[in-house]
Amino acid sequence: MQILVINAGSSSMKYQLIETDDKTVLAKGLAERIGIAGSRVKHQFTKNGASIEKVVEQDLPNHNVAFEIITQLLTDKEDAVIASPEAITAVGHRIVHGGEKFSETQVITPEVKETIRALIPLAPLHNPANLIGVEAAEKFFPNAVQVAVFDTAFHQTLPEHAFRYAIPEKFYAEEKIRVYGFHGTSHKYVYNEAKKYLKNEKLKAITIHLGNGSSMTAIDENGHSIDTSLGFGPLCGLIMGTRSGDIDPSVIFHMLEQLNMPLEKIKNVLNKESGMLGLAGSSDARDVAARYNEGDPNAALTFEMYGYRIRKYIGAYMAALNGVDALIFTAGLGENSILTRRYACKNLEGLGIELDEELNVDNNHADTPVEIQTPSGKVKILIVPTNEEWQIAKEVAELVAKA
């Protein structure tokens, strides 16, 4: 089954064409700067065993034009990976917010689209772009089944005592203000990969997704998310590339009332000027690591704070799970940052968590699941590369097969 996976943003669109029978990525690419000067589509595919990249430098005024070019690239006479748009069985769409309505993958109907549209106030930057991607796909792949895979769906198993905030009930009952969590597709994928790797069907795990946006999830022995660090929006929890993570709300009141900062400025500071960028001057952990190795005290403090926040969540989630079998590191920093994993596991021997530093170094950039704990460590420490596109394709294929 050939499935096109779409991740549409406000000015970009990532895509992968996946053959689900053998997990092959037939083509992938990125349309970027949609609606902005300097737009282009980068398209990669394999031909005669060689990886080839094509770049189309062209004005992309909207997502429909981007989709038209992507379709042309996929069906190009010389380098076609599909004979025609009809070859694609289904299109899987990453939809950021499904609210409380969607706890599993859904075939996109007019009613589903209307619900996604109604949830725009909960994800004003993402759901509108996701819908644009859906409508463009409907136009260019009219015979394909359109399917929504929601970032929030995996976390719909959170118990009420974990997803409710201690504010007046009307804010939940009427406005649906609660913990939703994000990165659910990634957390679900790496948990299941770890379960297969460890041959443990009753795995209790803490998944640690560390990218420019980061989150952690406590997953019980039934594979259910029971707590997660991102909440109503993507700002709380861990320190991130440009986001502050957890902060005392009194700081916001102080900025507003004593420093006379407008709300929009405060929001910009916490979302776009904080995190690693605010502490070390760069949102890229590779830059911060280079400064760390040069002895920069701000870089050292950044990794200490970054790791300390992760360790606090590890402790909390071990309590929530009543013990844990495995820590699972994934995503950009989780898979590729020696320093991040080192500081995230620092001084946790009392909890049975012992990082083997040699394995931590040797297995950086792992492309398959790998263990990096010491022989005496009671808790498994794994690096598991994430693959959200494959998880989306898998869920789409399973849903289509049932239909």
Pairing of strands 90-95, 145-150: parallel
Q: Matching CATH topology for 2-150 and 200-388? A: yes
Mean pLDDT of the chain: 93
Q: What is the topology classification, in CATH, of domain 200-388?
A: Nucleotidyltransferase; domain 5 (3.30.420)
pTM, to two decimals: 0.91
pLDDT at 212: 85
Among 378, 386, 372, 321, which Cα is nearest to 344's?
372
362 is catalytic: no
Angle between helices 184-198 and 388-402 (to 10 degrees): 90
Annotated binding site for Mg(2+): 7, 388
In the annotated binding site for ATP, the residues are 14, 209-213, 284-286, 332-336
Three-class SS of the chain: CEEEEEEECCCEEEEEEEECCCCEEEEEEEEECCCCCCCEEEEEEEECCEEEEEEEECCCCCHHHHHHHHHHHHCCCCCCCCCCHHHCCEEEEEECCCCCCCCCCEECCHHHHHHHHHCHHHCCCCHHHHHHHHHHHHHHCCCCEEEEEECCHHHHHCCHHHHCCCCCHHHHHCCCCCCCCCCHHHHHHHHHHHHHHHCCCCCCEEEEEECCCEEEEEECCCCCEEEECCCCCCCCCCCCCCCCCCCCHHHHHHHHHCCCCCHHHHHHHHHHCCHHHHHHCCCCHHHHHHHHHCCCHHHHHHHHHHHHHHHHHHHHHHHHHCCCCEEEEEHHHHHHCHHHHHHHCCCCHHHCCCECHHHHHHCCCCCCCEECECCCCCCEEEECCCCHHHHHHHHHHHHHHHC
- Domains of the chain, by residue range, sit at 2-150, 200-388
pLDDT digits (tens, 9 = 90+) for 363-375: 999 999 999 999 9
pLDDT tens digits along 290-341: 999 999 999 999 999 999 999 999 999 999 999 999 999 999 899 999 999 9
Annotated binding site: 7, 14, 94, 209-213, 284-286, 332-336, 388
Distances (CA, A) of 310 to 165, 285, 301: 21, 15, 14
- Is a pLDDT exceeding 80 seen at residue 140? yes
pLDDT tens-place string over residues 24-55:
898 999 998 888 888 999 999 988 778 889 99
What pLDDT is stored for residue 190 in this prediction?
97
The owner of tokens 């443990």 is 200
Of the residues 79, 151, 296, 325, only one is catalytic, namely: 151
Under 8 Å between Cβ of 203 and 238:
no
The CATH number of domain 2-150 is 3.20.20.70:
no
Structure tokens at 351: 């909890």
Confidence at 362, pLDDT banded by 50, 70, 90: very high
Task: Note the pLDDT tens digit of each residue in 225-279.
Answer: 999 999 998 899 999 999 999 999 999 999 999 999 999 999 999 999 999 999 9
Burial of 161 (0-12, 13-18, 19+ CB in 10 A): exposed
Annotated binding site for substrate: 94
Averaged over 64-74, what is the pLDDT?
88
Per residue in 234-247, pLDDT (tens digit) is 899 999 999 999 99
